[in-house]
Amino acid sequence: MSAVEQSGAYAAAFAESVENPERFWLKAAEAIDWVSAPTKALDDSAAPMYRWYPDATLNTCFNALDRHVAAGRGEQAALIYDSAMIGTTRTYSYADLLDEVSRFAGVLAARGITAGDRVVIYMPMIPEAAIAMLACARIGAVHSVVFGGFAAAELAARIDDAEPTALITASGGLEPGRTIEYLPMVARALGLTDNAPATVIVKDREQIPGAAADHGWLDWDTEIANAEPADCVPVAATDPLYILYTSGTTGKPKGVVRDNGGHAVALAWSMRNLYDIGAGQTMWTASDVGWVVGHSYIVYAPLLVGATTIVYEGKPVGTPDAGAFWRVVEQHRVRALFTAPTAIRAIRKEDPDAAELAKYDVSSLVTLFAAGERLDPDTYEWATAKLGMPVIDHWWQTETGWAICANLRGLEPMPIKAGSPTVSVPGYRVQIVDGEGTEVEPGTEGNIVIGLPLPPGTLAGLWRDEERYVKSYLSTFAGYYLTGDSGYIDADGYVFVLGRSDDVINVAGHRLSTGAMEAVVAQHAAVAECAVVGIKDDLKGQRPSGYVVLKAGADIDREVLRKDLVAMVRDQIGAVATFRDVTVVQALPKTRSGKILRKTMRQIADHEDYTVPSTIEDPAVLDALARLLGPGQ
Ligand code: COA
Ligand code: AMP
């Protein structure tokens, strides 16, 4: 047994969570107001498909809003919209937010949307995005938010899969120096799908051209002005709250399904025990509602515990400068800030001596949390030195919905080790196994797996695709959930997450599929074969890098080809893919069974040591690549 497992509040909580999960999670469930309280925590009757709180009913929106107003928090700030893009701040009290959400729920109900219906939300970082999500939760509809940086084809793929009855959007989003008009993209997406929803509602933003009427759609403001507020609809704890699509190794995104009950319990538990945030305190998560971090810690978790959340429309730098985050912390008295390491790197690059930080009073800030990618030791050291407070890395995924490994600041703060997200959060039995599924010794790198069942709040499955869920996550090592990450656990029980072991990459905290980019690149008339790998990037952690083999006789200028491919990826996946590098090669290194050696290609491009796999088809191809990309190139 390691040091961290032996003593203290963490050790006791972890032990109880794995030895007596019924007791642990029924106790945690007391933080939620149930319509019908659970008498049982785990239903394992259909293992490996597990369900939490099988006999309970609740409404997530009631827990996020109504109960706080009833308890006298109506006048407290629930949501602060802070737009660095248009220089606006607007505060919604709990009473205001409840009013807006109930009325928008009424709009949806009046259009015939009922419990179980899917609603796609394609919105920028404006309060209406959170209002739409909570309104869905209120009537039991299942929302599926699509990140605004995705292009029409990606939106269409999600509509195809979710088969929504409604789509909620806005006239557009604001990026530094340009506006993103959503309505032409929505129109294009609806043209690409056979499952176009009957109802489209548009929040008009005066900064962006385009209006609902141009397309015969409904206008948010008009609808809400005439709406009758709708009440909360009780749903089963096991009913879906949302579907969130995330990148897998293929081009087809995976629809991660989150339930209502387990989600509410896990998030409320995490606010107290991990983030140390309670009612009346302010948490700011500088992410986007389109990502899981935004779902959990911009929208649901802060509201579930009666805290104040901030919807920030802006960037860490350039809106207007590298002091943007510190300005928000000062202005709204933020206690916990949660961001991606790439944002800290961006601030450091612009303001290495933290001169901007010195201009603001950030004394309200107690902890800086980072996730979305590994917090590299260099960035960790810089942030800790400049802020003089704990900087906490924590590791999780869209699938889990909340942290797998963390330093639990509310439960028992632990010593920080740079480069590690600390220890397994109670409920998660994290282990490292080799290729055969055998647990390895401390300090040995391998596949990071989690013993089943996963705790409440984690994915209930993939939307209407149990087979893919089992194949992708549960079948590689029986009894374990495969995270897709590799790493090791040290002798103290600290977990070190080193990177993905599949073809998923992480660009500026955004999870992207190289397979999806390859599918686009392969469409080019001059391309015979291609591989996209994620290579190191000082600012964004990784960036996609494309390697293409031209068709015999293809005669195309390299720069023309690069521009074509960049434009195609931007058009079909979105600007967020940041696909910019294209290298023409004579051949791609492959195994004898034809599998492209992407990991070896990445190692060569990153100038790392690599071993030539014994299964290689033609070592000369790898040699040629090493000459082209190796050190000194
Ligand atoms: N809608 C439309 N376009 C978007 C977008 C959105 N919501 N978000 C990003 N984009 C566009 C950007 O405008 C940019 O377009 P460009 O190629 O025309 O310049 C492109 O996608 C790439 O964006 P990004 O990767 O964000 O790079 P950047 O250079 O604009 O900014 C950072 C760099 C580090 C400041 C930025 O990536 C950042 O703030 N990262 C933090 C990410 C984060 O919070 N992730 C959440 C996970 S927890
Ligand atoms: P997403 O599903 O978009 O949240 O991305 C999840 C993936 O991002 C994980 O599987 C990891 O590869 C990576 N990731 C997220 N947070 C961390 C972290 N704190 N340390 C290392 N990798 C992380």
Residues 444 and 556 in one domain: no
Distance CA 356, CA 600 (A): 41
With a 6 Å cutoff on the Cβ, whether 149 touches ligand 1 is yes
Q: Which of 454, 484, 514 is a domain's end point?
A: 484
In which band, very low, low, confident or very high, does the pLDDT at 5 lie, cut at 50, 70 and 90? Answer: low
Percentage of the chain lying above the pLDDT 70 cut: 99
- Non-local CB neighbours of 269 within 8 Å, separated by 6+ positions: 28, 31
- Residue range 35-44: average pLDDT? 98
In which band, very low, low, confident or very high, does the pLDDT at 3 lie, cut at 50, 70 and 90? Answer: very low
Tell me, in angstroms, the distance from the centre of ligand 2 to residue 235's CA: 31
In which band, very low, low, confident or very high, does the pLDDT at 437 lie, cut at 50, 70 and 90? Answer: very high
With a 6 Å cutoff on the Cβ, whether 309 touches ligand 2 is no
- The predicted-structure confidence for 463-516, as pLDDT tens digits, reads as follows 999 999 999 999 999 999 999 999 999 999 999 999 898 889 999 989 999 999
- Non-local CB neighbours of 294 within 8 Å, separated by 6+ positions: 145, 285, 287, 288
Q: What is residue 460's predicted lDDT score, i.e. its pLDDT?
A: 97
Q: Give yes or no for residue 631 having a pLDDT over 90.
A: no
Find the angle CA(345)-CA(347)-CA(351) to the nearest 5 degrees: 120
Within-domain flag for 1: no
- The predicted-structure confidence for 527-554, as pLDDT tens digits, reads as follows 999 999 999 999 999 999 999 999 999 9
Within-domain flag for 573: yes
With a 6 Å cutoff on the Cβ, whether 398 touches ligand 2 is yes
Buried b (16+ CB within 10 A) or exposed e, 189-209: bbeebeebbebbbbbbbeebe
- Residue range 2-9: average pLDDT? 64
Residues 417 and 276 in one domain: yes
Q: Tell me which residue has its CA closest to atom 18 in ligand 1.
A: 575
Within-domain flag for 473: yes
Q: Output the six-digit token pair for 255.
A: 């629809």
Find the angle CA(463)-CA(256)-CA(504) to the nearest 5 degrees: 120
User: For 92, phi and psi rounded to 5 degrees?
Assistant: -105, 120
Dihedral of CA 445/448/452/454: which sign? positive
Distance CA 131, CA 141 (A): 13
Distance CA 260, CA 59 (A): 8
178 CA: nearest ligand 1 atom: 13
Tell me, in angstroms, the distance from the centre of ligand 2 to residue 570's CA: 23
Residues 44 and 191 in one domain: yes
Distance CA 324, CA 316 (A): 6
- Residue range 313-319: average pLDDT? 98
With a 6 Å cutoff on the Cβ, whether 379 touches ligand 1 is no
Q: Give yes or no for residue 2 having a pLDDT over 80.
A: no
Q: What is residue 633's predicted lDDT score, i.e. its pLDDT?
A: 56
497 CA: nearest ligand 2 atom: 21
Q: Which of 422, 451, 484 is a domain's end point?
A: 484
Query: Which helix (H) or strand (E) covers residue 329, if one does?
Result: helix 324-332
With a 6 Å cutoff on the Cβ, whether 170 touches ligand 1 is no
Residues 624 and 476 in one domain: no
Strand partners, 103: none
CATH label of the domain that carries residue 587: 3.30.300.30
Distance CA 438, CA 419 (A): 25
Q: Give the domain extent around 175.
A: 9-314+394-484
With a 6 Å cutoff on the Cβ, whether 354 touches ligand 1 is no
Whether residue 570 contacts residue 550, with contact meaning beta carbons closer than 8 Å, is answered with no
Residues 155 and 282 in one domain: yes
- The predicted-structure confidence for 96-139, as pLDDT tens digits, reads as follows 999 999 999 999 999 999 999 999 999 999 999 999 999 999 99
- Residue range 589-595: average pLDDT? 91
Q: Which ligand is nearest to the CA of 244?
A: 2
Q: Output the six-digit token pair for 5.
A: 């497992």
Residues 509 and 458 in one domain: no
Per-residue HEC secondary structure of 438-463 comes to: CECCCCCCEEEEEECCCCCCCCCEEC
With a 6 Å cutoff on the Cβ, whether 180 touches ligand 1 is yes
Within-domain flag for 25: yes
Q: Domain count for the chain, please give it.
A: 2
Q: Give yes or no for residue 154 having a pLDDT over 70.
A: yes
Task: State the chain's mean pLDDT as an integer.
Answer: 96
Distance CA 85, CA 77 (A): 22
Tell me, in angstroms, the distance from the centre of ligand 2 to residue 487's CA: 12
With a 6 Å cutoff on the Cβ, whether 460 touches ligand 1 is no
Within-domain flag for 336: no
Residues 156 and 204 in one domain: yes
Distance CA 377, CA 236 (A): 43
- Residue range 591-601: average pLDDT? 91
Residues 457 and 513 in one domain: no
Q: What is residue 6's predicted lDDT score, i.e. its pLDDT?
A: 58
Residues 94 and 182 in one domain: yes
C-alpha closest to that of 244 among 143, 395, 133, 156:
143
Whether residue 50 contacts residue 459, with contact meaning beta carbons closer than 8 Å, is answered with no
- Residue range 292-316: average pLDDT? 98
Q: Give yes or no for residue 313 having a pLDDT over 70.
A: yes
Residues 473 and 560 in one domain: no
Q: Give yes or no for residue 15 having a pLDDT over 90.
A: yes
Dihedral of CA 194/198/203/205: which sign? positive
With a 6 Å cutoff on the Cβ, whether 293 touches ligand 1 is yes
Q: Give yes or no for residue 370 having a pLDDT over 60.
A: yes
Q: Tell me which residue has its CA closest to atom 19 in ligand 2.
A: 395
Collapsing DSSP to helix, strand or coil, 485 comes out as strand
Distance CA 457, CA 396 (A): 12
Dihedral of CA 132/137/140/142: which sign? positive
Residue showing tokens 């401390």: 442
Q: How far is CA 546 from the centre of its chain?
A: 24
- The predicted-structure confidence for 240-299, as pLDDT tens digits, reads as follows 999 999 988 777 899 999 999 999 999 999 999 999 999 999 999 999 999 999 999 999
DSSP assignments along 74-88, one per residue: TTSEEEEEEETTTTE
Q: Please give the residue that has the higher pLDDT: either 71 or 251.
A: 71
Distance CA 444, CA 434 (A): 9
Q: Which of 439, 454, 484 is a domain's end point?
A: 484
- Cα radius of gyration rounded to whole Å, the chain: 24
Within-domain flag for 329: no
Q: Tell me which residue has its CA closest to atom 6 in ligand 2.
A: 397
With a 6 Å cutoff on the Cβ, whether 578 touches ligand 1 is yes
Residues 400 and 532 in one domain: no
Q: Give yes or no for residue 377 having a pLDDT over 70.
A: yes
Within-domain flag for 226: yes
- The CB density around residue 621, as the number of other CB atoms within 10 Å, is 17
Percentage of the chain lying above the pLDDT 90 cut: 92
Q: Output the six-digit token pair for 112.
A: 């015939």
| Dihedral-angle region of residue 484 (phi above 0 means left; psi in -120 to 50 means alpha; beta otherwise) | left
Q: What is residue 4's predicted lDDT score, i.e. its pLDDT?
A: 55
Q: What is residue 1's predicted lDDT score, i.e. its pLDDT?
A: 39
- Non-local CB neighbours of 589 within 8 Å, separated by 6+ positions: 596, 597, 600, 601, 616, 617, 618, 621, 622, 625
With a 6 Å cutoff on the Cβ, whether 340 touches ligand 1 is yes
- Non-local CB neighbours of 128 within 8 Å, separated by 6+ positions: 104, 168, 170, 203, 220
Tell me, in angstroms, the distance from the centre of ligand 1 to residue 27's CA: 40
C-alpha closest to that of 524 among 577, 565, 583:
565
Model confidence, pTM: 0.96
Residues 190 and 299 in one domain: yes
- Count of residues for the chain? 633
- The CB density around residue 508, as the number of other CB atoms within 10 Å, is 21
Whether residue 340 contacts residue 106, with contact meaning beta carbons closer than 8 Å, is answered with no
Within-domain flag for 177: yes
Whether residue 254 contacts residue 462, with contact meaning beta carbons closer than 8 Å, is answered with yes
Q: Give yes or no for residue 360 having a pLDDT over 50.
A: yes
In which band, very low, low, confident or very high, does the pLDDT at 7 lie, cut at 50, 70 and 90? Answer: low
Pocket test for ligand 2, best of 394, 395, 494 (most atoms within 8 A of CB): 395
CATH label of the domain that carries residue 430: 3.40.50.12780
Per-residue HEC secondary structure of 132-191 comes to: HHHHHHHHCCEEEECCCCCCHHHHHHHHHHHCCCEEEEECEEEECCEEEEHHHHHHHHHH
Tell me, in angstroms, the distance from the centre of ligand 2 to residue 373's CA: 5
